[in-house]
Structure 1
Amino acid sequence: MFPKFMPHREVLPLLESKALYKGSLRINRRNRQDAYVTCDDLEYDIYIHGAINRNRALEGDIVAVQLKDVEEVWAVKKAKDEKDADKKKDQPNPFAPKDEREIEIIPNENESCTNDEDDEERKKPKYCGIVVAILDRSQEPMLTGTISLNRPGQVESAPKKKKKDDEEERPRPKPSMFWIKPTDKRLPFVAIGIRHAPKGFIDDDSTFSKKLFVARITQWPITEKHPFGELVQELGNVGDLAAEAKALLAENCINDQDFPNAALGCLPATPWHIPAVEFTKRRDLRFHRIFSIDPETAKDLDDAVHVIDKGDGQYEVGVHIADVSFFIKSRSALDTEARSRGTSTYLVDRVIPMLPSLLCEQLCSLNPGVERLAFSVIWQMDEFGNIQDTWFGRTIIRSCGKLAYQHAQDVIEGRPLSSSLRIHGHTAEEVEKDILNLFSISKHLRKARFDNGALSMNSVKLYFDLDDEGKPIDCHLYEQKDANRLIEEFMLCANISVAKKIASKYPDEALLRRHAPPIERRLEEFLMQAENLGYVLDGSSAGALQASFNEIESQEVKETLLILAIKPMQRAKYFCTGLLDISKYVHYALNVPMYTHFTSPIRRYADVIVHRQLEAALNDVEKFPLDSKEIARIAQQCNIKKDGAKNAQDASIQLYLAEYIHRQTQLHGPMYCEATVVAVLDSAYEIFVPEYGIEKRLHLDRMALKKSTYDLPNHTLILTWQTDAIEMNDTQPEKSVLRFDDDDCGDEDDLVKAVESKLSMDEDKTTSETTSEMTTESDTALPQGGPVDSAKPNDKRSTDSTADSSPSSDGIQVIKVFEKIKVRLDVDMNKTPPMVNVHSVNPHILM
């Protein structure tokens, strides 16, 4: 079935000679026959067609790829696509009238019609290849799903005919294996030996059809189409909130077990006090007016700030980060456990920490009124944020106050600090002045950042209120304010400063973070799509794109285009400097030559390594103890765990949103929402529901239409509804997509703190949030709501148009981009995970 893997000893020299290419595999969610390998040595992704060429590699695996002839691969793909299309034509449309529904396309001589502009398989790739070796599995090969005796594609046997009295019942042959159908459609069905089947399964497998299991892939011989595995755990029933929550952790290899005794044994005895020797080795800042700004009830305070007005427009500004590396010794059991976990995971109902609570919430947390160890970055800067000098070093601090974001926001808006806020050793008036000074400087830093070409694309962020049983009872959009941006700017500044320091000292071993430019083909498609809508955007750089967005006067248009701009963006990644050309160090969204993570060591292992590198650099250690290959392995592990945590976080939000919508529809009936049309194709249109951050493609063949006409020159759909139809319901609904930030705000990301805040507020309420490296925050800027530059600044296209999306008396509805339409939301609780469905609404029922 599959070619043999090449031995690693043969692969390595071929990688060096560029006869093979190394990269990370991703599988198309809509069509798992299509996969892509992102390789640092190539400008474009390598397209992998079909399971054979993918050669048993799974999502996220690091693979070695041999290039194949593009024309040959593409011909095979197109032939298969045509065959699949013919099969699809034969499938009946349940919503079509008796006479075949008419589809008409008004052509545009200068344009070609694309049914699916964002599907990667529509355009011929630059490179094609075959996987010849798996260099590193992204995670332990685990999966969740439902089990069945039927193999993939096997039709269930018809009910047995009743036997006559004189006929003997033949015993049913015992099967040799059963199958687990994965929740993640990118994973293969897995065959499991029947001896591992749960009790009672063989006698009546139908009773297990709605139960969730975790399985592990154990082997995948080249002779078998499907891998073999074993059951690990039964989780519960499909659709059950607790069972689905366990499943999303298992799918993303999130370790939520208690910390092992060996790791706990590395913790210091309590009560703990700062050793006397540390006072002789560190800068004493205990009498500086240092304070933290976090959510009101946050427990792990890992950053604090101070500012001193030196007169004549000169300031000293400090960022102080919890000195986690003091407590985690390299290669200790606690270090091994932290490296294994990689990052804390923020779910709707809880946080799964990277470190034990003794460190997270007590010894490392910069709590007010107590002495704490810190690693500090202190700048001498002017009132405009221009840095004149930078000092790095280990310090001892005593925070004078734990401020909430709302406290700082009150001061920014001209109100005094709350009288209930306790300030240690200083006055509230002094802290208020500091906040205003920091805010003033942060505004200049932010302006300079965007003037220098940074990109911001803020996205929808949701959090939930939970009842006593942990069920969602309300859903909110998170709003970022000036106080959040204040902290963000100084955290970004600290990360950039530290990146420069460690890279200059260890040019081959520094652990940095890069954000690659957008996928060029997707960016070109987006720019063309925007131009078709009347907006010429400059995508030559992050700054040019930001400027283009800034030129758009209509906020609705801007937000819609920002949704479309998400798709070309890539996630930021950790990397080792010695293994990548310096030209690729750049962080695209921040538009800085180098960047790292320093400000959140409590919840990110990468920051712990960066702290160690900064300490070694300050101590003038000539060679860092870990070589470039080991740093690269750590970077890869951190990338894998960060992606897993991000995916689990998003899945948790989707799960709770599904539960919330399901409960609301049960209590109050159908849920109707306003959606914005963000793209129009000849056989579908895409909508965005800003209230819940949901993006969905609605297909015409699932609607009760008499006729549809696609006006290509004007990019509109004219729909003629069946007047006797009440409302459309998807018979084969697709999972909606939640559009959140791509993750990675570090400490500068107040959303992570918002989660911590809500979680610790009380046991009855909790928050869900997502973080992103694609916002102006610590890392990237991705999702929806930001800026871009218009090559036609005066080309304003109104969101109002001569065509109206409301229905006419003869059942006609016009669909065009920027239009507002009504949709209905519901949830299929029989799917795993529960699926939020978005239905187009026959406008006649709203008349």
Structure 2
Amino acid sequence: MALLSERYLKTSVKKTRKGAVLKIVREHYLRSDISCGVEDCSTCPTNLTSSKLSGVPIIESTLCPYPHYIVPDVSVALHQVDFLEDNAINNVIVLQTVLQAVRQERLTVYKRIRDAVSNPDKNFYVFSNEHHKETYVRESSDGSNDSVRKAVDWYSKHFEKARIEAKAVLLSGDEDSKKKANDANLTAYTVFEYAEALVDCPGIVDKLSKKSEVPSAKSQIIFPEHLSLSKVLAGIKGKKLYQGTFQASRENYLEGSISVEIDGVERWVLIQGLQNLNRAVHGDTVAIEILPETEWSLPSGVVTDKEAEDTVEEKVDDKILKPVAVKESNLQVTGRVVGIVRRNWRTYCGTLLPLPDMRGAHHTFVPANHSIPRIRIETRQGPTLLGQRIVVSIDSWPRSSRFPQGHFVSALGQIGDKDTENEVLLLEHEVPHQPFSLAVLADLPQLPWLITEDDVRKRTDLRHLCICSVDPPGCTDIDDALHYRELDNGNCEVGVHIADVSHFIRPNTAIDREAAERGNTVYLVDKRIDMVPELLSSNLCSLRGGEERFAFSCIWEMTQNAEIVKKWFAKSIIKSRAALTYAEAQAKIDDPKLSDEITLSLRGLNRLAKILKQERMTKGALNLASPEVRFEVDSETHDPTGLATKELKETNSLVEEFMLLANITVALKIHDHFPDCAVLRRHPSPNVSNFDTLIKCAGARNVKLDVATAKELASSLNKAEIPNQPYFNTLIRILTTRFMMQAVYFSSGTIPEAEFHHYGLATPIYTHFTSPIRRYADLMVHRLLAVAITADKTYPKLLDKHNTQKICNNLNRRHLMAQRASRASIQLHTHLFFKDKVVEEEAYILFAKRNALQVLVPRYGVESMLFLDKKGETSVKLEYDEDNSTLLVGRTRFRTFDKVVVQLSVEKSGLQHTKLKLSLVKPAIPSVSVPSVEQESTAKPPKKKKKI
């Protein structure tokens, strides 16, 4: 018997990207058996849906002193999601039409509401009012609000009919919507009225968004008015305006830049000064106008020390943006923001600025991210929140306000507390770190997990091979292992065996969607944020020694000169003989007394790896460097107890070479079978002009760099030596990475094959195959390879290049944010390590700025700003030479690559957190340098002993 009660055709229109209007006709079904969602409702069918709403809702309110359910309209759902997420708010009826409107407007808010719906403690219920006979609105004069009022009216009558002792309360975003509901005899309040009436929830009012773009009559206009979206689009079409993503400077809050295409060439456009920035926030998609050439400029070279300004109100001073005299040919294209295409506002972590009276309602929030402007908020919790890390969201930025306006979201904990600071860095870098949901955990295999006879029949059995893994100490997510053996024909066989994560994570399951969203595992100093649950990452997919595991194997037959004779792939079963660290593997290779099977295998691999590396270098692969350090962490407190520079051994290179070879081999295979949808990784060639500064700085040391090609650059770096300066070559390799482009994932069908090239590795094609436990891109590659060798079936989304590119875009963003989160974790633990210490160490200048030096301290891997312009203290004159990238302080000239001695200590006066402070010791410059620790200790007279 059919349950559908009515069917008709629903007509809508849609505008395409090219401006054409399409008429869309769909079948629309209305039913009468959709549940209200209330537990044990006597009149609703219980077998069609699971109840979400409590039978007796309890929200204590002086305005609604009776059991009630909340029904938010579109405005509340869209702008007050922080309020709805509060623990005090439960039993909410989310209408289907409201949810659809939110999804179209802001996808991030939609996902947050969906998360609340899936949280059993919140009792959120999605009611399909669009498909209910009595709540569907065919023609609307007031948009979504008509459907909201009709749904609330139906609930009121339904509760009366079902004898449910509760009311449906409509929450509106404004007085006008509330009045219309009241005129229809519905119980309705504005969200502000409702929040203020809640009992024992004093802080919940602070979470309300107070969106206001219209300045009052008395307000002074600071910023130019933004162009309307229609004018912006017309300007972009006529090539009078350009669209791009605004990137705020991390060094100077009055500067930023935007990458746009001008006359077919990608150019970075400089934006300087408050008026030209015109309320753009880092990450916003904006429209810009190019200024006349007479107004083109250069980055100021000034580093604003936000920490030093945290205890005072910011003063606007665009004068610091005026660059020193430079050649006209060096000027950079400069523009101004004239419109906002799309805001990219999110929640931000930071702290409140101390005020003489913290009991007032108006406060200034200082973001931890220096690229974000300060935010004005209203809260009565000032005294409580002072000294805490808090989360704030931006609501609006009126033309009359120096800063954007926002609202308080939540408190995280005390500033300086390690757990709090870890939470801050994860939130700031948008790292998904919530526990895995029950739906994800339900997709995991049941324990005990065993390999069956059917598995053995379907897979290649390689358990007889001498396979072992080589990883850093303490590694539990072991996703790669190797083997080597001599063949009877004089050749050798080499295999790379990768954990077969795709066997456990099937497409479009909850665990697959979660892994795709997370993108990668994030490694912090004291913890690891897994991409997949621990049962897989550290157990069933970890190729642990002595345990049988599923693998995806890439195997080559090679000559003794590492020439590939044959290659093949197989879904396999392996049993690793040993899980070694780099040091343990190196010790086996170096010990002449050892001749066991594992040692001989490692020696064979090492010999071939050296040949492979030499071949790569000959082709022009770059051997770059990075200042990496390793923390020794207390096993109980997880506090850093020691710092050491990471020592690279031959075995590091051994593993790297065969992982690179496997990635290249797999890339060729999947692109051959799937030329339009293969997941590949490319490293674009940098613009030769990017290296101008580096070439100039190296030339000042009589070192010539040729950057025409990667091969010539590699050759130049190999020759870049200065007598008696052994660290110079490492330093110039570190600096070279700063002028490179970012490597990215992409779908092969979206760009020409000529652009597949990987600049750093000097290979025409590349992908990631070797780490599916911690990278979702590798998991996608495994699926493609499995289909290519007929070991698995395909599915539509796997072959959709546009869907693949969409996933790749997210993976690229997640990869970048994971890198930054890892660096932030190292920085946090460096601060903890230097707590109560004053250390002097050699440092090298990376870049000279107008008022500071960017220096690297190799021993500790610390890179930081060394400020030389101490306001009110520095008496010597600072002269910045933009052309030669030098800074003259008194009579001392500082250049890139110069060695200095700095003093490292932790400054505890900063508002945001304890700050690592660098002070110049040598060369000694009056009023700039500080005395060395040794001088201070010898200058103090010894204490006299008391006579007893």
Q: Please, what TM-score do these two structures have when normalized by structure 1?
A: 0.72
Residue in structure 2 matching 1:32, options 239, 253, 275: 253
- Structure 2: how far apart are the matches of 1:122 and 1:683? 24
Amino acid at match of 1:362: N
The count of corresponding residues between Structure 1 and Structure 2 is: 676
Partner of 1:808: none
- 2:825 is equivalent to residue 652 of structure 1: yes
- Structure 1: how far apart are the matches of 2:550 and 2:230? 48
Amino acid at match of 2:346: P
**CA deviation string 1:226-276 (max 9, x = no partner):** 444443331222223222222111111222221110100000111012344
- Structure 1: how far apart are the matches of 2:451 and 2:275? 59
Q: What's the CA shift for 1:189?
A: 2.5
- Structure 1: how far apart are the matches of 2:821 and 2:328? 27
Conservation of the 8 A alpha-carbon contact between 2:556 and 2:565: yes
Partner of 2:719: 551
Residue in structure 1 matching 2:906, options 813, 821, 827: 827
- Structure 2: how far apart are the matches of 1:439 and 1:18? 57
- Structure 2: how far apart are the matches of 1:277 and 1:415? 44
Matches within 5 A, 1:260-271: 260-271=437-448
Conservation of the 8 A alpha-carbon contact between 1:377 and 1:393: yes
Conservation of the 8 A alpha-carbon contact between 1:506 and 1:624: no
- Bigger CA radius of gyration: 2
The structure whose RCO (Cα within 8 Å, separation 6+) is larger is 1
- Structure 2: how far apart are the matches of 1:49 and 1:714? 22
Q: What's the CA shift for 1:813?
A: 6.2
Q: What's the CA shift for 1:225?
A: 6.0
1:567 and 1:701, CA in 2 relative to 1: closer, same or farther beyond 3 A? Answer: same
Partner of 1:639: 812
Amino acid at match of 1:124: L
Amino acid at match of 1:701: D
1:640 and 1:54, CA in 2 relative to 1: closer, same or farther beyond 3 A? Answer: farther
Q: What's the CA shift for 1:57?
A: 5.6
- Structure 2: how far apart are the matches of 1:589 and 1:371? 36
Conservation of the 8 A alpha-carbon contact between 1:514 and 1:585: yes
Partner of 2:67: none
Partner of 1:142: 347
Q: What's the CA shift for 1:491?
A: 0.5
- 2:631 is equivalent to residue 454 of structure 1: no
5+ unaligned residues in a row in structure 1: which ranges? 86-90, 92-112, 151-155, 160-171, 418-427, 721-811
- 2:736 is equivalent to residue 565 of structure 1: yes
- Structure 2: how far apart are the matches of 1:643 and 1:705? 42
Residue in structure 1 matching 2:267, options 31, 41, 44: 44
The alignment partner of 2:727 has SS state of: helix
1:135 and 1:711, CA in 2 relative to 1: closer, same or farther beyond 3 A? Answer: closer
- Structure 2: how far apart are the matches of 1:587 and 1:76? 34
Amino acid at match of 1:75: E
Residue in structure 1 matching 2:641, options 461, 468, 473: 473
Matches within 5 A, 1:69-108: 69-71=290-292, 75=295
Partner of 1:358: 535
Residue in structure 1 matching 2:631, options 439, 464, 479: 464
1:440 and 1:529, CA in 2 relative to 1: closer, same or farther beyond 3 A? Answer: same
1:274 and 1:18, CA in 2 relative to 1: closer, same or farther beyond 3 A? Answer: farther
Amino acid at match of 1:448: E
Partner of 2:418: 241
Q: Percent identity?
A: 33
- Structure 1: how far apart are the matches of 2:639 and 2:847? 34
Q: What's the CA shift for 1:48?
A: 4.3
Conservation of the 8 A alpha-carbon contact between 1:34 and 1:121: no
1:370 and 1:693, CA in 2 relative to 1: closer, same or farther beyond 3 A? Answer: closer
Residue in structure 1 matching 2:580, options 384, 400, 403: 403
- Structure 2: how far apart are the matches of 1:687 and 1:263? 45
The alignment partner of 1:459 has SS state of: coil
Conservation of the 8 A alpha-carbon contact between 2:688 and 2:708: no
1:178 and 1:515, CA in 2 relative to 1: closer, same or farther beyond 3 A? Answer: same
Amino acid at match of 2:764: P
Conservation of the 8 A alpha-carbon contact between 1:33 and 1:50: yes
Residue in structure 2 matching 1:693, options 851, 854, 861: 861
Conservation of the 8 A alpha-carbon contact between 1:522 and 1:567: no
Partner of 1:574: 745
Matches within 5 A, 1:322-361: 322-361=499-538
- Structure 2: how far apart are the matches of 1:613 and 1:342? 18
Q: What's the CA shift for 1:621?
A: 5.4
- Structure 2: how far apart are the matches of 1:568 and 1:644? 19
Residue in structure 2 matching 1:494, options 662, 667, 670: 662
- 2:684 is equivalent to residue 516 of structure 1: yes
- Structure 2: how far apart are the matches of 1:500 and 1:283? 22
**CA deviation string 1:466-498 (max 9, x = no partner):** 334332221111111101110010001111111
Q: What's the CA shift for 1:599?
A: 0.8
The alignment partner of 2:869 has SS state of: helix
Q: What's the CA shift for 1:518?
A: 2.9
**CA deviation string 1:82-102 (max 9, x = no partner):** 9x99xxxxx9xxxxxxxxxxx
Conservation of the 8 A alpha-carbon contact between 1:509 and 1:624: no
Conservation of the 8 A alpha-carbon contact between 1:19 and 1:66: no
Question: Which range is displaced more, 244-253 or 128-137?
Answer: 128-137
Conservation of the 8 A alpha-carbon contact between 1:215 and 1:232: yes
- Structure 2: how far apart are the matches of 1:314 and 1:8? 69
Residue in structure 1 matching 2:365, options 173, 177, 180: 180
Conservation of the 8 A alpha-carbon contact between 1:67 and 1:127: no
- Structure 1: how far apart are the matches of 2:657 and 2:245? 32
1:270 and 1:676, CA in 2 relative to 1: closer, same or farther beyond 3 A? Answer: same
**CA deviation string 1:433-476 (max 9, x = no partner):** 11110000000010001110001212121121233433222111
Conservation of the 8 A alpha-carbon contact between 1:8 and 1:133: no
1:327 and 1:21, CA in 2 relative to 1: closer, same or farther beyond 3 A? Answer: farther
Amino acid at match of 1:632: Q
Partner of 1:735: none
Question: Which range is displaced more, 620-629 or 239-248?
Answer: 620-629
- Structure 2: how far apart are the matches of 1:404 and 1:473? 22
1:337 and 1:816, CA in 2 relative to 1: closer, same or farther beyond 3 A? Answer: closer
The alignment partner of 1:143 has SS state of: strand
Question: Which range is displaced more, 630-639 or 366-375?
Answer: 366-375
Conservation of the 8 A alpha-carbon contact between 2:295 and 2:334: no
Conservation of the 8 A alpha-carbon contact between 1:317 and 1:378: yes
Q: What's the CA shift for 1:679?
A: 5.3
Q: What's the CA shift for 1:314?
A: 1.6
1:224 and 1:235, CA in 2 relative to 1: closer, same or farther beyond 3 A? Answer: same
- 2:767 is equivalent to residue 596 of structure 1: yes
5+ unaligned residues in a row in structure 2: which ranges? 1-222, 304-308, 310-321, 925-930, 936-948
Q: What's the CA shift for 1:651?
A: 0.5
- 2:465 is equivalent to residue 288 of structure 1: yes
Conservation of the 8 A alpha-carbon contact between 1:146 and 1:211: yes
